[in-house]
Amino acid sequence: WGFYPHASKWIRKAAEQNGVTLLDITPVFVSLCAEGPMSCPEDLFPDGHATAKGNAVVAKQVSDFLLANGLVK
């Protein structure tokens, strides 16, 4: 998974230290694509960026997060 999990760790830490609400979607894709981005080409390009289907996964995660945290009605 390259640098994504490591970078996410630091981003989460920075968000926590600054009181910023954060949605980290890295774990979602790590669980969907256990062998890395190339193991699920329908969701991720080889470089780890989301395809159209992967972006639908992101959109669902964002929507659920916003609703669950009372950030939208």
pLDDT at 56 over 90: yes
Q: Looking at the DSSP assignment, which residues form a beta bridge with residue 50?
A: 44
Greater pLDDT, 53 or 73: 53
Cα-to-chain-centroid distance, residue 2: 14
Q: What is the pLDDT of residue 1?
A: 61
3-state secondary structure of 44: strand
Model confidence pLDDT, tens digit, residues 1-44: 666 778 888 999 999 999 998 998 888 988 998 888 889 999 99
